[in-house]
Amino acid sequence: MVAVRGGSTTPRRLPGVEGVWVFVAADMSFFALLFVSFMLGRQDAVEVYEASRQTLDVNFGGINTLILLTSSWLVVLAVEAVKRNELKNVPHLIAGAFLLGAAFKVSKALEYGGKIKAGITMLSNDFYMYYFTLTGIHLLHVFGGNILLIVLWNKARARQFTKDNCVVLECGATYWHMVDLLWIVLFPLLYLLR
């Protein structure tokens, strides 16, 4: 397949390898089923869900959204830099993405800590079950992503990525964008939906 850009033809291809897209599609399908399950549960107990939602700190959710969006953006810059063969800054960009991932974890720890201190757990009611489990499973993905970013950072420092050899970086970036995208759905679903 080719795309026409400014009169010239550029071959189009899927970033990374097909397998990582299989993973992303399946993983997001699992989350989609849980989102549907949440909405169905909400229909049956709107008042409980709404009252519980109001106890969540929107600021935490908003800051976390900014953190992940920025982290994802840094990974985009790293991929772009590799494709321009500007390899010097790539490790710094990936390190920045990693640090923001770590910041997300600290933020979640503070948020969870506050809830547990207030006597709220995933067993308190169905809303909190979804709140803790959905954000918890997402947090596991962030942990996985951070490990991946360490691997990518090491490879970038060793100058293993080049314009013609950046499939691994693209795979990692695809996964990290998925983690970001899932949060972008989770944030309004849990924190904002009235």
Distance in angstroms (rounded) separating the CA atoms of residues 130 and 177: 22
Query: Does the protein bind another protein through residue 122 (CB under 8 A)?
Result: yes
Q: Which is nearer to another protein, 33 or 192 (CB)?
A: 33
Q: What is the DSSP string of 22-47?
A: HHHHHHHHHHHHHHHHHHHHHHH-HH
The token pair that represents 4 in the structure block: 């026409």
State whether residue 124 is helix, strand or coil.
Answer: coil
**Interacting stretch for another protein, rule CB under 8 A, among 27-35, 78-86, 101-109, 150-158?**
27-35
Question: Of residues 34, 63, 168, 181, which one binds another protein by CB under 8 A?
Answer: 34
**Interacting stretch for another protein, rule CB under 8 A, among 21-29, 66-74, 100-108, 151-159?**
21-29
Q: 100 with 71: CB under 8 angstroms?
A: yes
Q: Which is nearer to another protein, 106 or 140 (CB)?
A: 140
Question: Of residues 55, 102, 124, 126, which one binds another protein by CB under 8 A?
Answer: 126
Element (H, E) at 4: strand 2-5
By CB under 8 A, the residues from 129 to 188 that bind another protein are: 129, 133, 137, 140
Residue 165: exposure state from Cβ atoms within 10 A (0-12, 13-18, ≥19): exposed
State whether residue 15 is helix, strand or coil.
Answer: coil
Q: Which is nearer to another protein, 79 or 178 (CB)?
A: 178
Question: Of residues 14, 32, 33, 39, which one binds another protein by CB under 8 A?
Answer: 33
Q: Which is nearer to another protein, 89 or 160 (CB)?
A: 160
Distance in angstroms (rounded) separating the CA atoms of residues 18 and 99: 28
Question: Of residues 1, 2, 26, 158, which one binds another protein by CB under 8 A?
Answer: 26
Residues 6+ apart with CB under 8 A from 83: 163, 166
Q: Which residues bind another protein (CB under 8 A)?
A: 17-20, 22-23, 26-27, 30, 33-34, 37, 41, 122-123, 126, 129, 133, 137, 140
